[in-house]
Amino acid sequence: MRRALELAGKAMGWTSPNPMVGAVIVKEGRIVGEGYHQRAGTPHAEVHALRRAGEQARGATLYVTLEPCSHYGRTPPCTEAVIRAGITRVVAAMTDPNPLVAGRGLAALREAGIQVEVGLLGHEAARLNEVFVKYITTGLPWVVMKAAMTMDGRIATRTGHSRWVTGEESRLHVHRLRHRYDAIMVGIGTVLADNPLLTTRLPEHEGKQPLRVILDSRLRLPVDARVVRDTSDAGTLVATTERHDPGKKAALEERGVEVAVIPGLGPRVDLPALMRLLGQRQITGILLEGGSEVNAAALAAGIVDKTLFFIAPKIVGGAGAPGPVGGKGVSTMEKAQRLKDVTVERFGPDLLVSGYLEKGEP
Any bridge partners for residue 244, and if so which? none
50 and 156 share one domain: no
117 and 180 share one domain: no
> What CATH number is given to the structural domain containing 31?
3.40.140.10
Q: What is the pLDDT along the chain (362 residues), one digit of tens a residue?
A: 999 999 999 999 999 999 999 999 999 999 999 999 999 889 999 999 999 999 999 999 999 999 998 877 777 889 999 999 999 999 999 999 988 778 999 999 999 999 999 999 999 999 999 999 999 999 999 999 999 999 999 999 999 888 899 999 999 999 999 999 999 999 999 999 899 999 988 877 676 899 999 999 999 999 999 999 987 788 999 999 998 999 999 999 999 999 999 987 678 999 999 999 999 999 999 999 999 999 999 999 999 999 999 999 999 999 999 999 999 999 999 999 999 999 999 999 999 999 999 874 44
229 and 171 share one domain: yes
Which one, of 182, 215, 181, 210, lies nearest residue 198 by Cα? 210
Domain boundary among 128, 144, 170: 128
120 and 139 share one domain: no
Domain boundary among 96, 128, 160: 128
73 and 91 share one domain: yes
| pLDDT at site 70 | 85
Burial class (CB in 10 A: 0-12, 13-18, 19+), 358: exposed
Domains: count for the chain: 2
Catalytically active residues are 46
20 and 60 share one domain: yes
20 and 149 share one domain: no
Domain boundary among 128, 143, 166: 128
How far apart are the C-alpha atoms of 119 and 93, rounded to whole Å?
Answer: 5
120 and 188 share one domain: no
319 and 184 share one domain: yes
172 and 247 share one domain: yes
> What CATH number is given to the structural domain containing 261?
3.40.430.10
212 and 101 share one domain: no
Phi-psi region of 197 (alpha: psi -120 to 50; beta: other; left: phi over 0): alpha
Domain span at residue 88?
A: 2-128
Using only C-alpha atoms, the chain has a radius of gyration, in whole angstroms, of 23
172 and 71 share one domain: no
The pTM of the full predicted model, rounded to 2 decimals, is: 0.92
